[in-house]
Amino acid sequence: SVETSDFDLSADQIDYNSDTHWAYARGHVHLEHFVTGDKLDADHAEYNLKTEDGKFYAVDGTSPAKILTSPGILTTTSPFYFQAQWAERIKDRYILHQGFVTDCKLPKPWWTFEAPVFDIIPGDRAISRHTIFRLRHIPIFYLPIFYRPLGKNPRQSGFLTPNIGHSSLYGFIAGAGYYWAINRSYDTTAIGQYYSDRGPALRYNLRGKPNDVTDFNFNLYGVHDSGITLGNTLYKEGGTEFELTAKTEIWGFRGMLDYNYLTSYVYREAFSYAFTSPIWSQNNSLGFLQRHFKDDVYTFNVAMDRQQNFEAITYPYQKNLTTGAITTQQANEVIIQRLPSLEFSGRDQQITDGSLPIWFSFGSSASLLNRSEPTAETSGSPGQIFQTGNTARIDIAPHVMTEFNFKGFSLIPAITLGATDYSSSYSTNNTVFAAGGSCGDPTCPVTTEALGRGNVFRRDADFTLDLRLPALERVYNPPKWLHLGGKIKHVIEAEATYEFLTGINNFQRIIHFDATDILSNTNQITYSIVNRLYKKDKNGNVSEVVSWRLAQARYFDPTFGGAVTPNQGSCAYNSAGIALVNPTCQRVVVLATEELTPYTFLDGPRSISPIVSSLVVNPYPFFGFEYRADYDPLRHKIIDHVFSGTARHGKYAGSVSETAVTTNPILIPQQNQISFSGAYGSSNRRGWNVAGGMFFDALAGKRLFDYAQMSYNTDCCGFSFELRNFNLGIRQDNQYLFSFSVANIGTFGSLQKQARIF
């Protein structure tokens, strides 16, 4: 045995020439390098102790594993194995001749890469040419060049493994790609796919980090659709979508950008990959520069945003196969833009102290806005588009507050004086609902809109009085069978807020762009009570087990200063609480109600709001659920509720959720959607792992989407198969997806990692 500070060489017999520094080893030769961690065994070898060069025969060895931590990548802690007929060591390199490499445990590896020559630098990389990938000794594919990272920086340019699959809508799917590590700061990936029934597709990604405070990510997906024939018409549903996200710091500003582009909603519906995309009918973009001044007391923003809401599916290309006529449908969408908005605000500053402390804050903005929308709801191309043009809006809102405290009671009076100037407004803004129309919606709203001349100036005064009662507490000893620890604390919190806002007498003339524009007069009191349960574990850590909040508002001005038309009254309802659509119905959205619940409920004058209940239960780390509901005392029923629950125990996991809306369909379309999911295993667990889920529309009585995935992981690779079914509008599609994962290397196949459960 010969040992130095860098390596250890041992064998049954070693002959050493001190003049040439060559050692000749025979029988159970073992070489280990302490710095790189590589180990090598051979039948016999010749090795230079000075230059660390040599030759080894009948070789096998290991190099420490490089574990990739990217989401969706199968990992293993097994070392990198290699075998060869003979090997050369030149400095820190091994040249393997007629051998193979693998991450699988020997002597029966699941997979191997075989090649005439491997060039390996332990802790850095392995390269081979004319490589054959074998799975259980069966040749699967040939690689002209194979590169395997073994070091801290695994990025290296090269071709990506191919992907295959099948879809009842697209036909057979085949594709391949290339990854280019441009330099340390930039890389890009391009993946081309071909759908046998629809045409070529491209996925492209470009990432960069030019400096310590700047990075960006660009993703593009496009399909050149050959079209689908329905009846006597050819419909082309292809298009392009991309997203650009970026952040930076410049001139003391912090900048953020999230820009999204979509050619048409039908493209997203037809070609999006995941279930959440085709049901998302919005396409929003936002960018801003923000700077704080004077220890974050003041904030200045330059913001731009674009909100695009699709009302219906329209086709940008239709061809009559008999006449050859080509038609294009106009997009049915609502677009709201701020280009740009300058915002300056100051947070609360105490300007007086003593027995009457006073805090002052303010908000202000100057914006250029525009809005376009269809004037009538249709199931296809809109008949008429109303456009506001560019509207300038200047808004100023100083805010003053004080606080009184007495034996746990807290009283906080505050007043806000608002002033808003608009360069344009409505001269006419009226919506009529008619039952039984042909728009695809039983309410069929038709809006009459026209712009007036001249500026509109809105001023308001908003007084609030917030009362918070002292919390009531009591400590209990919970039953042992609940396993909640030794002590439970029950806390009850109650508060009430009175608000009187006046001065807004032109609500119907204001064009709605954002929350600033739905401000209305109100005279109301909002009261709430919260019950909380806390537990303490044996280590003294406190966690909230239950939180249940109930809130309601009482409106002393049922018309909100005329925002709700007083003469029309409310919609008529039958004995089941279902609205009977008629021209007297209204749909009004004001800020006072939106701050209570996101589900709008104003279809006419009313003096009391629904009771808003929010229950969150998390008694154990492996189980929890939430239930949120709005109960309308005027309709004597729950008008909307959302439930979600999750549970996980060991290798088992499950979830269930439901969203149901039964309010007036003029306010919100009625719905009842239920989802279930379950799983056994995890992404890196050896053996069989299964998962499945379903989204069900209870009103329509049909499945919207379901999936089932099965995977099997060995010590060094994994196999996954997934079956999906889409039943969403025009999307009727069955997909059969497969992927094969090689631990610490990557995955190939049509089952993309961002859509995998395992």
Q: How far apart are CA 393 and CA 421, in angstroms?
A: 6
Q: What is the CA radius of gyration of the chain?
A: 34
Same domain membership, residue 189 and residue 265: yes
Burial code (b: 16+ CB inside 10 Å, e: under 16) for 551-589 equals bbbebebebbbebbeeeeebbeeeeebbbebeebbbbbe
Q: What is the pLDDT of residue 410?
A: 94
Q: Is residue 116 part of a domain?
A: yes
Which residues make beta-bridge pairs with 630?
612, 640
Least confident of 182-196, 225-239, 545-559, 727-741: 727-741
Q: What is the pLDDT of residue 584?
A: 60
Q: What is the pLDDT of residues 160-204, one digit of tens each?
A: 877 888 888 899 999 989 989 899 899 999 999 999 999 999 999
Q: Is residue 93 part of a domain?
A: yes
Structural domain harbouring 455: 376-617
Same domain membership, residue 229 and residue 145: no
Closest CA to 100 of 88, 112, 108: 112
Same domain membership, residue 531 and residue 384: yes
Least confident of 82-91, 119-128, 208-217, 624-633: 119-128
Domain limit, last residue, from 154, 175, 200: 154
Q: What is the pLDDT of residue 145?
A: 84
Is the predicted pLDDT of residue 554 greater than 50, yes or no? yes
DSSP helix/strand/coil, 755: helix
Using an 8 Å Cβ cutoff, are 375 and 447 in contact?
Answer: yes
Q: Side chain identity at 111, as an amino acid letter?
A: W
Which residues does 575 contact at the CB level (< 8 Å), separation at least 6? none
Arithmetic mean of pLDDT, 84-90: 91
Is the predicted pLDDT of residue 631 greater than 70, yes or no? yes
The DSSP 8-state label assigned to residue 556 in this structure reads S
Same domain membership, residue 255 and residue 179: yes
Closest CA to 631 of 666, 590, 660: 660
Count of structural domains, the chain: 4
CA of residue 12 relative to chain centroid, distance: 61
Q: What is the pLDDT of residues 125-169, one digit of tens each?
A: 888 999 998 988 899 888 888 877 766 556 678 788 778 888 888
Q: How far apart are CA 258 and CA 82, in angstroms?
A: 46
Q: Could you tell me the end-to-end alpha-carbon distance of the chain, in angstroms, rounded to an integer?
A: 47
Which residues does 611 contact at the CB level (< 8 Å), separation at least 6? 550, 551, 552, 630, 631, 633
| Helix, strand and coil percent figures for the chain, each rounded to 5 | 5, 60, 35
Least confident of 522-531, 590-599, 693-702, 723-732: 723-732
Domain limit, last residue, from 154, 182, 216: 154
Is the predicted pLDDT of residue 373 greater than 70, yes or no? yes
User: What's the pLDDT band for 539 if we cut at 50, 70, 90?
Assistant: confident
Q: How far apart are CA 102 and CA 744, in angstroms?
A: 11
Same domain membership, residue 170 and residue 118: no
Least confident of 145-159, 281-295, 488-502, 619-633: 145-159
- Of 644 and 377, more confident: 644
- Of 156 and 665, more confident: 665
Arithmetic mean of pLDDT, 624-631: 96
Closest CA to 40 of 1, 4, 66, 8: 8
Q: For the chain, how many helices (H) and strands (E)? A: 2, 49
Same domain membership, residue 284 and residue 137: no
CA of residue 142 relative to chain centroid, distance: 37
Joined tokens for residue 65: 């594993």
Q: Is residue 735 part of a domain?
A: yes
One-character DSSP codes across 540-561 = --EEEEEEEEEEEEEESSTTTT
Same domain membership, residue 190 and residue 126: no
Using an 8 Å Cβ cutoff, are 333 and 308 in contact?
Answer: yes
How big is the chain, counted in residues?
A: 758
Arithmetic mean of pLDDT, 53-73: 76
Is the predicted pLDDT of residue 69 greater than 70, yes or no? no
Same domain membership, residue 172 and residue 148: no
Is the predicted pLDDT of residue 403 greater than 90, yes or no? yes
- Of 421 and 478, more confident: 421
Same domain membership, residue 733 and residue 597: no
**Is residue 496 packed enough to be buried (19+ CB in 10 Å), middle (13-18) or exposed (0-12)?**
middle
Is the predicted pLDDT of residue 407 greater than 50, yes or no? yes
User: What's the pLDDT band for 436 if we cut at 50, 70, 90?
Assistant: very low
CATH number of the domain bearing residue 42: 2.60.450.10
In 107-227, which residue ranges form alpha helices assigned H by DSSP? none
Q: Side chain identity at 67, as an amino acid letter?
A: I
Report the share of the chain in percent with pLDDT over 90.
53
One-character DSSP codes across 663-681 = S-TTTS--EEEEEEEEEES
Using an 8 Å Cβ cutoff, are 595 and 587 in contact?
Answer: no
Q: How far apart are CA 102 and CA 93, in angstroms?
A: 18
Tell me the CA distances in angstroms from 64 to 82, 169, 213, 231, 689, one per residue in order. 12, 45, 33, 61, 28
Q: Is residue 368 part of a domain?
A: no
Q: What is the pLDDT of residue 440?
A: 47
Give yes or no for a cis peptide into 79 (omega within 30° of 0): no
Give yes or no for a cis peptide into 107 (omega within 30° of 0): yes
Same domain membership, residue 127 and residue 166: no
Domain limit, last residue, from 296, 331, 366: 331
Q: How far apart are CA 730 and CA 728, in angstroms?
A: 6
Q: Is residue 391 part of a domain?
A: yes
Which residues does 188 contact at the CB level (< 8 Å), separation at least 6? 179, 180, 182, 204, 205, 206, 207
Arithmetic mean of pLDDT, 87-103: 88
Question: At 509, phi and psi to the nearest 5?
Answer: -90, -15
Q: What does the mean pLDDT of the chain come to?
A: 88
Token pair 């406190």 in the structure block, residue:
542
Using an 8 Å Cβ cutoff, are 364 and 397 in contact?
Answer: yes
Arithmetic mean of pLDDT, 725-745: 84
Q: How far apart are CA 550 and CA 738, in angstroms?
A: 48
Question: At 482, phi and psi to the nearest 5?
Answer: -80, -20
Q: What is the pLDDT of residue 757?
A: 57
One-character DSSP codes across 212-252 = TTEEEEEEEEEE----EEETTEEE---EEEEEEEEEEEETT
Arithmetic mean of pLDDT, 485-509: 93
Closest CA to 556 of 500, 631, 508, 602: 500
Measured on CA atoms in the order 74, 80, 85, 90, is the torsion positive or negative?
positive
Strands (E), 228-332: 228-230, 233-235, 239-250, 253-262, 282-293, 298-310, 318-320, 326-327
Q: How far apart are CA 215 and CA 219, in angstroms?
A: 14
Q: Is residue 299 part of a domain?
A: yes
Is the predicted pLDDT of residue 437 greater than 50, yes or no? no
Is the predicted pLDDT of residue 435 greater than 70, yes or no? no
Q: Is residue 433 part of a domain?
A: yes
Same domain membership, residue 252 and residue 109: no
Q: How far apart are CA 125 and CA 95, in angstroms?
A: 12
Q: Is residue 304 part of a domain?
A: yes
pTM score of the predicted model: 0.82
Using an 8 Å Cβ cutoff, are 58 and 735 in contact?
Answer: no
Q: How far apart are CA 190 and CA 157, in angstroms?
A: 12
Using an 8 Å Cβ cutoff, are 629 and 643 in contact?
Answer: no
The H-or-E segment that residue 265 falls in is helix 265-271
Closest CA to 708 of 689, 698, 694, 722: 722
Same domain membership, residue 486 and residue 430: yes
